[in-house]
Each structure stands twice: as structure tokens, then as C-alpha cells.
Amino acid sequence: MFSLKQTLTNYAQLMKFTLSFTVVFTCVICYMLAPTVKAYDWSMILLLTFAGLCITGSANAINQAVEKDTDAQMKRTANRPVASGRMTQATAYTFAVITGILGVLMMWKYFNISAALLSAFSLFLYAFIYTPLKKINSIAVLVGAFPGALPCLIGWVAGNDDFAYAGWALFLIQFIWQFPHFWAIAWVTHADYSRVGFKLLPAKEGPTRFTAIQCIMYSVLMIPIGFLPHYLNLTGQVSMWILLVANIFMVVQCVRLYQNRGVPAARRVMFSSYIYLPIVYLALLADKL
């Protein structure tokens, strides 16, 4: 018998709470950036946060149920509740169905049907397309970048109920950011990923100069995209300069990866990308026009 604390820990691990919260954080920020959201209603923000956690948690639960055997073979995932046997696949799927339906219905009831449909599409894309594709082709990273960035657009649509250019600009920031971010993770965990047949680096040979060049290319592309929120009159000049500095910093870290091509350099890119998101989105929110 598990204690209540262990049970709660298992469910937090099942939904990857820290990762889910990071995803929902950008969704909520983009909701608050929507021009129609002028006076912040904290009850609506809490509802969006809870609905977002349900949807993201559902996708992650399906991911762990599907990859039970794969997770059990990797050091960093072997202790996950389903992989370790502390939770059955049936329990994980039940949790996923309940939270997924609840989250989508909340988006529909409290926000709008567009946000609800986008949320359902994002969940489906992550759980049923990206997850199995990881063992087939490295294009999985491109496919996974869509559900990874859609929370930004979902937040915007939930607040503004449209698909304006500014919403797509917020989507693009997180979409492009994911490539150096995820390839850095795949570089660091290459031994584990190779053992289970995950194909997530752009080069078949693994962590190579080509992968580092790809990271540089996408981080450079982040620079012009960082100007879009200001160009579209969503935010002021202060955040524009903060984004420029943050994007240049990411380029520098990726160049260092190209120069050194080792796990420590890849880990610097990975941790830099973790810091990048809160700085960028909080800067945008603070500078909202």
C-alpha cells in the first residue's frame, strides 16, 4: 500500500508536473498578453492554469503509459511510476482520459471553442503522433515542436478569441526555441536514447558538428522572430531589447557547443534554454502596451 504522499508524488510524476507547469506558464502569459484582457481576472487565470495542467498532464500520462517499457530501460526515466511498476498502464490511461476531457471542457466552457479545439488537437498531436514517431524518424522533433508551442497560441486565443498575427508571433518564439533546447537534451541523453531506439538528433551519427550547426541556425532565426511582438504593436521597446540580448545569448551558447561538441557544452545550451523562456515571456508581459 502506498501512502498518500507517495500516491500524490506518483501522479505528479505521471503528469510531469514541473514540465507541465512550465508549459502552462507560457500559456497563461500569452493569455494575459491578449489586448482584450486588460484587467486581470485572477479567477479566470486560475481556471486557465488548472485546465492547462489537466490537458498537458493528460498528454504526459499517455506518453508514459505508451513508453512504459522504453522508460524502464533508461536511467533518467526508470523511476517513473508506470515504468517502475508503482502504477499500472490502465491507471495512467484512466487518469489521462479524465484529465484530458476535463481540461478541454473547461477551455470550452470558460473561454471559447477555438481554444478548446486547439487544446484537443495539441493533446492528440503530442500523445498519438509525436510519441510513437520518436522511434521512427528524427522528424519527430519538428512534429513535437507544434504541441510544444501551441499553448502560447491557445493562451492568446483563450484571451482574444482570434488568430491574429501577434498570437502566431508568440507561438513562433516558443516553436523555434524548442529546436536548440530539445537537441541539447538529446545530446546530453544520447546514450539512453540510442539504447531504446529514439531518433531525435538531426544527424544519424549522433551528437556531431552537424547537430551543433543546426542548433546555431535555429538560435540565429530566433533573433528576427524576437522583434515581432514589438513590430506588431503588442509590446514596447524594452522587451524588444531584452529579447535581443536573450537570443544573442542563446546563439553564443550554441556556438560554444559547435566549438567544444561535448556534453558540458550541450548542458549549457539546455540550461540556458530553461532560463530563456521565463525571462522572455515575463519581459513581454511587463512591457505590454
- Residue 5: pLDDT band (50, 70, 90) is confident
Domain encompassing residue 40: 1-135
- CB-count exposure of residue 233 (10 Å: 0-12, 13-18, 19+): exposed
Residue 183 inside a domain? The answer is yes
- CB of 3 closer than 8 Å to CB of 86: no
Q: At 272, which helix (H) or strand (E)?
A: helix 263-286
Check which CATH number belongs to the domain holding 59 and give it.
1.10.357.140
Cα dihedral angle (161, 163, 168, 170), rounded to 10 degrees?
-10
Residue 149 inside a domain? The answer is no
Q: What is the pLDDT of residue 169?
A: 97
Residue 175 inside a domain? The answer is yes
Is pLDDT of 52 > 70? yes
Task: Among 116, 135, 154, give the residue marking a domain's end.
Answer: 135
pLDDT in tens, 73-88: 888 888 999 999 899 9
**What letters, b where the CB count within 10 A reaches 16 and e where it falls short, cover 76-86?**
ebeebbbbeeb
- CB of 280 closer than 8 Å to CB of 242: yes
C-alpha distances in Å from residue 204, one per residue of 13, 61, 133, 267: 31, 29, 15, 20
| CA gap 254, 201 in Å, rounded | 15
Residue 146 inside a domain? The answer is no
Say whether 235 sits in a helix, a strand or coil: strand
Q: What is the pLDDT of residue 1?
A: 52
If asked whether residues 175 and 283 sit together in one domain, one would say: yes
Residue 108 CB contacts under 8 Å (≥ 6 apart), including other chains = 115, 116
Residue 27 inside a domain? The answer is yes
pLDDT in tens, 177-203: 999 999 999 999 988 888 888 888 887
If asked whether residues 190 and 234 sit together in one domain, one would say: yes
If asked whether residues 128 and 175 sit together in one domain, one would say: no
Residue 159 inside a domain? The answer is no
Q: Which three cell numbers stand for residue 209?
A: 558538428
If asked whether residues 23 and 113 sit together in one domain, one would say: yes
If asked whether residues 22 and 118 sit together in one domain, one would say: yes
Say whether 288 sits in a helix, a strand or coil: strand
If asked whether residues 172 and 107 sit together in one domain, one would say: no
If asked whether residues 35 and 100 sit together in one domain, one would say: yes
If asked whether residues 119 and 35 sit together in one domain, one would say: yes
If asked whether residues 170 and 267 sit together in one domain, one would say: yes
| CA gap 114, 45 in Å, rounded | 17
Is pLDDT of 223 > 90? yes
Q: Which three cell numbers stand for residue 183?
A: 537537441
If asked whether residues 120 and 1 sit together in one domain, one would say: yes
- Specify the number of domains making up the chain: 2
DSSP string, 107-164: HHHHT-HHHHHHHHHHHHIIIIIIHHHTTT-TTHHHHHHHHHHHHHHHHHHHHHSS--
Task: Among 135, 154, 177, give the residue marking a domain's end.
Answer: 135
Q: Which three cell numbers stand for residue 87?
A: 502504477
Residue 5 inside a domain? The answer is yes
Residue 141 inside a domain? The answer is no
- Residue 278: pLDDT band (50, 70, 90) is very high
C-alpha distances in Å from residue 236, one per residue of 2, 174, 226, 240, 283: 52, 19, 12, 7, 10
If asked whether residues 119 and 49 sit together in one domain, one would say: yes
If asked whether residues 126 and 175 sit together in one domain, one would say: no
Task: Among 89, 116, 135, give the residue marking a domain's end.
Answer: 135
